[in-house]
Amino acid sequence: MTSLASEFAIRTEGLTKRFGSQLAVNGVDLRVPSGAVFGFLGPNGSGKTTTIRLLLGLASATSGEIELLGRRMPDDLAAVLPEVGALVEGPGFYPYLSGAANLYRLDAADGHATSVTRSARVQTALERVGLSHAAGKKVKAYSLGMKQRLGIANALLIPRRLLVLDEPTNGLDPQGTREVRSLIRLLAGEGTTIFVSSHLLAEIEQICTDAAVMSVGRLVAQGTLSELRGVGGARVRLESPDRNAAITVFTRFGMTVAEPGPDGTELLASFGTLEPAPDTVVAALVEAHVRVFSFTVERPSLEQRFVDLTGEGFDVAQ
């Protein structure tokens, strides 16, 4: 248990949640390394938020095990949650209270948070998300982006070992999104493990070290970002009139040639298990008298991987 505590901030084993006949979360084995910025990806309705609710003890799992910071959930909930800051499915605040009063309220709800430094901590948290000027304003007058920032401020009232942020940039303008990204980097730099769920891939690609992809309640991929990108393998796009000679060369490097381009001058070849250096491939092509008009090594973007894993289009898989 103790060794796991240092290794994984979040670990689940066969985590399953059933609503009636529908499996919202289906046998999920999450491994979130301590200190990682972990992107939790998946289209809408893939079970991300339900998983987060299970992790935080808001809902109980139908089966499976959860370990947060090396302790079992929900058994050790009272000991674990003070070390976890969270933003779950958008911010939730009392509209008739000011931003600061809302934070006071939620801080008072944590029996471990000391009241002595409460006002200083509330002030600091508001400053960090750039809401000091609106601290006294009632939340009903806040914009969606301001509420989102207030939600993040709530997660930062106490230094946490783990932050769980569900769609943290939802409703934020581009500047706000950038600020949240830099805030996440800053917090990660201090050693906080950050678990960010998002359906915006660009966001994940920019800040995360690790990621997992959910689809229809299942975890379909998990690993470091480069591992995830690499699974699909890189491929070469070659433009040349000497088709057959090029295919011979590619085959020699263990590459498989996919469909030719529409005009017959374009070739797509994917690397096998060995990835030869591109310059050696080009040199070999030239040696074989293949006229190279253009040669590009393409790596699948995370977006391509994401679509490969979760399917395309708006149809939410059932």
Partner 1 sequence: MSRSDMSALPDAVFRSRPALGLPLLVSEISVLFRRRRTWAMLASLALIPVLIALAVRLTSSRPPSGRGPAFLDQVSQNGLFVSFVGLLVSVPLFLPLTVGVVAGDTIAGEASAGTLRYLLIAPAGRTRLLIVKYLATAVFCVAATLAVAIAGALIGVALFPIGPVTLLSGDSIAVGDSIVRSLLIAAYITVSLLGLSAIGLFISTMTDVPVGAMATTIVLSVVSQVLDSLPQLDWLHPWLFSHYWLGFADLLRQPISWDSFGSNALLQSGYIVVFGALAFGRFTTKDILS
CB 161, min distance to partner 1, A:
12
Closer to partner 1 by Cβ: residue 24 or 247: 24
Which residues 6+ apart lie within 8 Å of 40 measured at CB? Answer: 48, 51, 52, 195, 196, 197, 198, 211, 212, 214
- Spatial contact of 34 and 191, defined as CB atoms under 8 Å apart: no
CB 1, min distance to partner 1, A:
21
For residue 241, report the phi and psi dihedrals to the nearest 5 degrees: -80, -15
Largest CA distance in the chain: 79
CB 212, min distance to partner 1, A:
21
Does position 60 interact with partner 1 (CB under 8 A)? The reply is yes
Does position 182 interact with partner 1 (CB under 8 A)? The reply is no
Which residues 6+ apart lie within 8 Å of 175 measured at CB? Answer: none
Closer to partner 1 by Cβ: residue 179 or 242: 179
- Spatial contact of 70 and 4, defined as CB atoms under 8 Å apart: yes
Which residues 6+ apart lie within 8 Å of 210 measured at CB? Answer: 32, 33, 36, 37, 38, 39, 222, 223, 224, 225
Does position 295 interact with partner 1 (CB under 8 A)? The reply is no
For residue 10, report the phi and psi dihedrals to the nearest 5 degrees: -130, 135
Closer to partner 1 by Cβ: residue 195 or 306: 195
How many CB atoms are located within 10 Å of the residue 256 CB? 14
| Interface with partner 1 (CB under 8 A), residue from 1, 3, 21, 109 | 109
Pairing of strands 71-73, 37-41: unpaired
Does position 57 interact with partner 1 (CB under 8 A)? The reply is yes
Binding mask 134-163 for partner 1 (x = CB under 8 A): --------------------x-x-xx----
How many chain residues are in contact with partner 1, going by CB under 8 A? 48
CB 8, min distance to partner 1, A:
20
Does position 203 interact with partner 1 (CB under 8 A)? The reply is no
* Binding site residues, partner 1, CB under 8 A: 53, 56-60, 77-78, 81-82, 84, 86, 88-97, 101, 104-117, 120-121, 124, 128, 154, 156, 158-159, 186-187, 190
